[in-house]
Chain A
Amino acid sequence: EIVMTQATATLSVSPGERATLSCRASQSVSSNLAWYQQKPGQAPRLLIYGASTRATGIPARFSGSGSGTDFTLTISSLLSEDSAVYYCQQYDYWPWTFGLGTKVEIK
Chain B
Amino acid sequence: EVQLVESGGGSVQPGGSLRLSCAASGFTISNYWMHWVRQDPGKGLVWVSRIYSDGSDTSYADSVKGRFIISKDNAKNTLYLQMDSLRVEDTALYYCAREYDPVFDYWGQGTVVTISA
Which residues of A come within 8 Å of B, CB atoms? Answer: 34, 36, 42-46, 49, 55, 87, 89, 91, 94-101
Contacts and interface: CB of A to CB of B under 8 A. Distances in A.
Contact of A43 (B43, B61, B107): B107
Q: How would you classify the secondary structure of chain A's contact residues: helix, strand, loop or mixed?
A: loop
Contacts, number: 41
B19 to A, nearest CB: 21
Interface string B25-53: 00000000000000000011111000000
A97 B108 CA distance: 19
Contacts of A95: 47, 61
Chain B interface category by residue count? 10 to 19
Nearest to A48: B103
Nearest to B101: A49
Contacts of A94: 59
